[in-house]
Structure 1
Amino acid sequence: MKKNIYGFLILLVMLTLGACTQKAEPAKEKAQDQLKITIILKEDKQEFDKKELTVNKKESLQTIMDQQFKLEMDQDFITGIDGHKQNAQENKYWLYDVNGKQPDVAAVDYYLKDGDVVTWTLNKLE
């Protein structure tokens, strides 16, 4: 009878320890999927918002923007951010750069890297 109790206790301890190690692995994977980025918003060269964020690396820049700001869209293009809107008559449009360089793709197709600084600028194009 004592052997059965000891055997049962050992089995219980092994199952408990096994369950604990399985829970730690998804946390590591989740941390690996996270990026730290900065998003800066400017209009007429004046900064009006800046956010330092932790985001999922599998989400596009447009998805991240949609989660963090109130966007207005025209198909896949952002035309307004938090009430600051493009104006075709004034030739003012939203453009973005990442680490000072303008990507060749729309935000919907751009995926960030850890440490990236994204600057959205609403300026008159000349």
Structure 2
Amino acid sequence: MKNNRRFSLFFTIVAFLTLVLTGCSSNNSSNAKNTTKNQISVNYTLKEGKKTVDTKTVKIPKKKAKVITGLKKAWKVQETKGFVTAIDGKKQNPKKKIYWTYTINGKWASKGVDLQSVANKDKVKFTLDKVK
């Protein structure tokens, strides 16, 4: 009789723990999937002239998928009215006509960094160089 009670108690505890642990693990994987679904990955490259200075891949929320969001997440950025004036301490120099410009997937952007949207796996390239 004691063995039956011990077995029942043991079985009840194991079943309870299995249910609790299974419930916790499925919630965690569900949250991870939702986080992945709600984020995009964007590749950023910084150049000075023709020389590549740095490259980073940044995950940003889909809702805030603007060029500036990932740029600020990866580097210290200064901007004015949608125009980048400095990245990671490297400043443009209007007297010498040296400015930050950028492309997305090899095409010149048509909007400021605060308005320009990005999509998953886009490649954004910022170049500090003399503008003619």
TM-score scaled by length of structure 2 = 0.75
Q: Distance in 2 between matches of 1:86 and 1:54?
A: 24
1:31 and 2:19 matched:
no
Q: Could you tell me which residue of structure 2 aligns to residue 40 of structure 1?
A: 45
User: Any residues of structure 2 matched to 1:78-97 within 5 Å, and which?
Assistant: 78-97=84-103
In the alignment, is the contact (CA less than 8 A) between 2:79 and 2:86 conserved in 1? Answer: yes
Q: Distance in 2 between matches of 1:34 and 1:26?
A: 12
User: Any residues of structure 2 matched to 1:1-126 within 5 Å, and which?
Assistant: 14=19, 17-51=22-56, 53-58=57-62, 59=64, 60-126=66-132
Q: Distance in 2 between matches of 1:26 and 1:39?
A: 27
- Cα shift at 1:93: 1.0
Corresponding residue SS for 1:73: strand
In the alignment, is the contact (CA less than 8 A) between 1:65 and 1:71 conserved in 2? Answer: yes
TM-score scaled by length of structure 1 = 0.77
Cα deviation 1:50-70 (Å, max 9, x = unaligned): 22x240242322121112112
Where does structure 2 lack aligned partners over 5 or more consecutive residues? none
Where does structure 1 lack aligned partners over 5 or more consecutive residues? none
- Cα shift at 1:46: 1.6
Cα RMSD for the two superposed structures: 2.6
Q: Specify the code of the residue in structure 1 equivalent to 2:60.
A: N
**Which of the pair is proportionally richer in helix?**
2
